[in-house]
A and B are shown apart, each in its own frame.
Chain A
Amino acid sequence: MELSGEYRIAASKAEVWAALNDAEVLERCIPGCEELDKSSDTEMSAKVALKIGPVKARFNGNVTLENLDPPNAYSIVGEGQGGVAGFAKGGADVQLAEDGDETILTYQANAQVGGKIAQLGSRLIKSTSAKLADKFFANFRDALEPQEENTEG
């Protein structure tokens, strides 16, 4: 399944690029992320807890950065095992474009799930994935625009 979106971020392209490569920022932005440890510049291991209605599964997996084209684009890919719950795999191609003082981030994401979690949740996987992708990029924008978050909150 394919998902896409666009965000305008009030920060320079260099700042956005740096944040996209910062494990601490990513940890704060990945929905349900409990731990993200960097093993190299492009490889991280992650613990992510997913809660969708009655389902609660904890995934152990890897996050990899691929197709790096600094500071214009990369792909972020994650996959994890949730024990008996099954597995989840997802990725996003991210592009950055300068627009004055601001940066426009566009993404195309895809997600796959398998095992029991897919069996039970097949009617909901698309909306859940769309929501998670949207949440990640919204968190990411907020992480770079702390002032706006304060005035809203």
Chain B
Amino acid sequence: MYETKYHKASSVADAVSLIGKSDDGKLLSGGQTLVPTMKARLAAPSDLVDVSGIADMHGVSISGSTVTIGAATTHANVAGNADLQAKCGGVACLAAGIGDPAVRHKGTIGGSIANNDPAADYPAAMLALDATIKTNAREIAAADFFVGMFETALEEDEVIVSISFDAPAKAAYAKFPNPASRYAMVGVFAAQTVDGARVAVTGAGDDGVYRQFDMEAALDTDWSPNALAGVQVGSEGLLSDMHGDATYRANLVKVMTRRAVAGCA
């Protein structure tokens, strides 16, 4: 790795100030993407501002139907939270299936959505649940937050503080993981929300997470895996790579949506 200056932020305000003062700094949370990238010398930030020690950014809290997750909460702590398992098991299950144990004990929800990898798991849940992403400066709706592949609405020096959403009546996540990386070849988060059925797809779209509107319409009529039988998923705009072409992924979108709906508790 190149030389870099490490700063441990004590508060959100401290992190914002440190990143603002740095020349070409990066926020560091769990470091499960950034650190390997630095080790491969594909990134060389002048400063790293570690937000993982900021107390306000940790933990899951539930108030009425609103679930709030601190941005620096690890996947393992989301997966293991008993209140969340009872309130919205779909999100806890999703967190339990990210990467491997090492990734789950270091990686955080804020880091995952800020990176917005087109095959990451969390963006699908955030989009399906209409989550609100709270930063040091503002609140951003998930639909506006995920701009495109690896692109978000975040400014360079903006820090995600927490994520909140209303617990849906039913929700489940189904993914077909790449056997090596555990990234989603296709992952589908299906939810029955107060605004109707939601189907958000990750891993498949060549511009990141998106909603499958025709499936949502079919599920609004009849919330069952069979309701999806007549919906055709086209391969246009889907990723093709060495692991699977767009047609293969289009079929997986359908299969994973059926599994998610069938798996809804």
Interface residues, chain A, with chain B CB atoms under 8 Å away: 52-57, 83-85, 116-117, 119-120, 122-124, 126-128, 130-131
> Is B37 in contact with A54, judged by CB distance below 8 angstroms?
yes
Asked if A57 meets B42 with Cβ closer than 8 Å, knowing A123-B242, A124-B149, the reply is yes
B86 at interface by CB-CB < 8 Å: no
> Is B118 in contact with A56, judged by CB distance below 8 angstroms?
no
Least CB distance, A143 to chain B, in whole angstroms: 22
Contacts A/B (CB < 8 Å), 29 sampled: A52-B150, A53-B33, A53-B149, A53-B150, A54-B26, A54-B33, A54-B42, A54-B43, A55-B37, A55-B42, A56-B43, A83-B41, A84-B41, A85-B42, A119-B40, A120-B40, A122-B241, A122-B242, A123-B119, A124-B118, A124-B241, A126-B206, A126-B239, A126-B241, A127-B149, A127-B206, A127-B207, A127-B239, A131-B149
Least CB distance, A77 to chain B, in whole angstroms: 24
Least CB distance, A83 to chain B, in whole angstroms: 8
Least CB distance, A32 to chain B, in whole angstroms: 14
> Is A117 in contact with B42, judged by CB distance below 8 angstroms?
yes
The binding surface of chain B is classed by DSSP as loop
Instruction: Return the 10 tightest CB-CB contacts between A and B, nearest first.
Output: A53-B150, A127-B206, A54-B37, A123-B241, A55-B42, A84-B41, A56-B43, A54-B34, A54-B33, A54-B43
Specify the chain B residue showing the minimal Cβ separation from A127: B206
Interface residues, chain B, with chain A CB atoms under 8 Å away: 26, 33-34, 37, 40-45, 115-119, 148-150, 206-207, 239-243
A47 to B148, CA, bound (A): 25
| B45 partner residues in chain A, CB cutoff 8 A | 56
| A52 partner residues in chain B, CB cutoff 8 A | 150
Which of A53, A55, A85, A126 lies at the interface centre, i.e. has the most chain B CB atoms within 10 A of its CB? Answer: A53
15 more CB-based (< 8 A) A-B contacts, given A123-B119, A127-B239? A53-B115, A56-B45, A57-B42, A84-B41, A116-B42, A119-B40, A123-B239, A123-B243, A126-B239, A127-B149, A127-B206, A128-B149, A130-B206, A131-B149, A131-B207
| B242 partner residues in chain A, CB cutoff 8 A | 122-123
> Is A120 in contact with B42, judged by CB distance below 8 angstroms?
yes
Least CB distance, A82 to chain B, in whole angstroms: 9
Least CB distance, B4 to chain A, in whole angstroms: 13
